[in-house]
Amino acid sequence: MKNQNNYPRILFLFSDTGGGHRSAAEAIIEAIHLQYGNQFDIQMVDIFKDYAPLQLKYMPELYPKMVKVPHAWGLGYKVTNSHRSARIITASAYPYVRRSVRSLVRQNPCDVIVSVHPLAAAPILRVLGKNRPPFITVVTDLVSTHALWYHHQADLCLVPTETAWQRAINFGMDANKVKVVGLPVSDRFCIPPGNAAQIKQKLGWPEHLPVILLVGGGEGMGPLEKTAAAIAEARLPAALVIIAGRNRKLKERLQEKIWKIPTFIYGFVKEMPEFMRGADILVTKAGPGTISEALNAGLPMILYSRLPGQEEGNVSFVVDEGAGLWAPEPESIVQAISSWLSNPEMRQKAAAASLRLARPQAARQIAQIIIEQIHQPIIQLSDHHPLKSKTPT
């Protein structure tokens, strides 16, 4: 399948339900550019915003509200988390989404499809039928992966951890189709650390203080406000950087407050790699994207909340390996930060454990696997190839 430039087409299916699906797709696209230059026509489609029927179009806006009722979300997650339930859900939804999915497929002809969202595979594969391009799923949850990720007809299923691999097998996937590659993160997280002071200076943060980076996923979720207040009230010898993500109201409320320690408030930032490399401690909800980025940036982390169901396993994944601490209450968060501030060796140990868990090659490996599915001659570029200079930054 060629466009007028004669470039093979790659279609990425994602949605802004949270920030992790977009980040994963963008990291893979970046890796494709880094390794192959501009030899492909790449499209990103938000399966809800761009194509879903009216009732589902607002899913990205509804998602933060839905997960605000964690018990209901967790219950829904558990009840639906079997291969049989996943089939029933997707079969019942099909009549409602069929027309939209047909438009998506008609308007986006391509040579390979990459889905980074658990809800894309079933309807797309059903509409496409037998004569279709290869379909690759890239699982963007780390450990407690939902059955919906594992559609048996997908050609390949790329997973971030051994546990996610085992779950794929338990849910009946053919082991030949499942590969452990790691969760893809942007190359900019994986550059060796070293110039934190320079980054602090560039961002206007105090260079003489450790920086605590507080993140609640793409949507500013979890008790972020309470946590920020507790850290500032404790007057810890540190600066606080709070990222409210797409949660505009939260950002406004935070900006109205008077803070007892140097505090910097941001909405959704594009420069997360720089933020992580300039920070000394990450305090975050247990989002898979943020965790994987922090691992690659060698940033020790304190996890303060998790979504029941999909993020539960992430906490033990981080804590058991020594890359971070679990502190679900503002008091325990303050205590954990305090112990790391007064014991830099402990913090460094956690930073080293983070790096051990990191899989900096994940995005590049996934890029390579995707390109192998395109049965056309592709040039693997050397570092000095002129096409590489056109790589978007």
Chain contacts with ligand UDP (rule: CB under 6 A): 18-20, 23, 215, 217-219, 243, 245, 268-269, 272, 287-290, 293
Please, which residue, 36 or 189, has the CB nearer to ligand UDP? Answer: 189
Closest residue to ligand UDP: CB criterion: 287
Please, which residue, 271 or 321, has the CB nearer to ligand UDP? Answer: 271
> Residue 134 CB, nearest distance to ligand UDP (Å)?
26
> Residue 14 phi/psi, 5° resolution?
-150, 180
> Residue 189 phi/psi, 5° resolution?
-80, -20
> Residue 289 CB, nearest distance to ligand UDP (Å)?
3
Answer whether 138's CB lies under 8 Å from 308's CB.
no
Could you give the count of Cα atoms lying within 13 Å of 74 in the half-sphere of its Cβ?
11
- CA-CA distance, 257 to 313, in Å (whole number)? 34
> Residue 95 phi/psi, 5° resolution?
-55, -30
Angle at 164 (CA atoms; ends 23, 186), nearest 5 degrees: 20
If you count them, how many residues does the chain have?
393
Please, which residue, 105 or 190, has the CB nearer to ligand UDP? Answer: 190
Please, which residue, 100 or 161, has the CB nearer to ligand UDP? Answer: 161
> Residue 219 CB, nearest distance to ligand UDP (Å)?
6
Please, which residue, 272 or 327, has the CB nearer to ligand UDP? Answer: 272
Please, which residue, 105 or 215, has the CB nearer to ligand UDP? Answer: 215
Sign of the CA dihedral running 164, 214, 348, 189: positive
> Residue 102 CB, nearest distance to ligand UDP (Å)?
28
Answer whether 211's CB lies under 8 Å from 241's CB.
yes
Angle at 154 (CA atoms; ends 149, 155), nearest 5 degrees: 135
Please, which residue, 34 or 269, has the CB nearer to ligand UDP? Answer: 269
> Residue 27 CB, nearest distance to ligand UDP (Å)?
8
> Residue 255 CB, nearest distance to ligand UDP (Å)?
15
Using DSSP, state whether 289 is helix, strand or coil: helix
- CA-CA distance, 150 to 117, in Å (whole number)? 11
DSSP 77-108: HHHH-SHHHHHHHHHHHHHHHHHHHHHHHHH-
> Residue 385 CB, nearest distance to ligand UDP (Å)?
29
Please, which residue, 282 or 371, has the CB nearer to ligand UDP? Answer: 282
